[in-house]
Amino acid sequence: MRQMNLTDYVKEVSQEDFGKEFRHFANWNNRLRSTGGRFFPKDGHLDFNPKLYQEFGLDVFRRIVRHELCHYHLYFEKKGYRHQDQDFKKLLRQVDGLRFAPKSQQEFQYKNYRCQNCQMTYQRKRRIDTKKYFCGRCRGRIVEMRKP
């Protein structure tokens, strides 16, 4: 989905699911990691995470768009548009929007390590320096396990 198609798609979802017009523009934002999208009250535009669209498909992405449109429409109606506001929670339930972005599998790729002496395995989010750290059980040398 290209840039112009994204704004058109958001306008279509807004009209079909909310019965209201979307008057601003929507962008792809490759820097978003843990969130599906963002609403900017200052100028009214929306940003979306292209990785979630590619990984989960159009059905989940439509629910993410609904979530951001809830922020958008409530803000311009001068109602509670934040996550903790009752107006937002009620509208989100009505349109079947996602409350939280789904967890991406690419986001959580753990590094696996194994002790050479006792075969104890370790899972870490970040890479560790195997020359500096050693096994906590037997003080043996730790090596990174390669994926097959």
Active site residues: 68
CA gap 71, 19 in Å, rounded: 15
State yes or no: 71 annotated in a binding site. Answer: yes
Angle subtended at Cα 34 by Cα 49 and Cα 80, rounded to the nearest 5 degrees: 85
For the chain, the residue count is 148
Direct distance between the N- and C-terminal alpha carbons of the chain, in angstroms, rounded to an integer: 34
DSSP annotation of 117 reads: T
Point out the annotated binding site for Zn(2+): 67, 71
Point out the annotated binding site: 67, 71
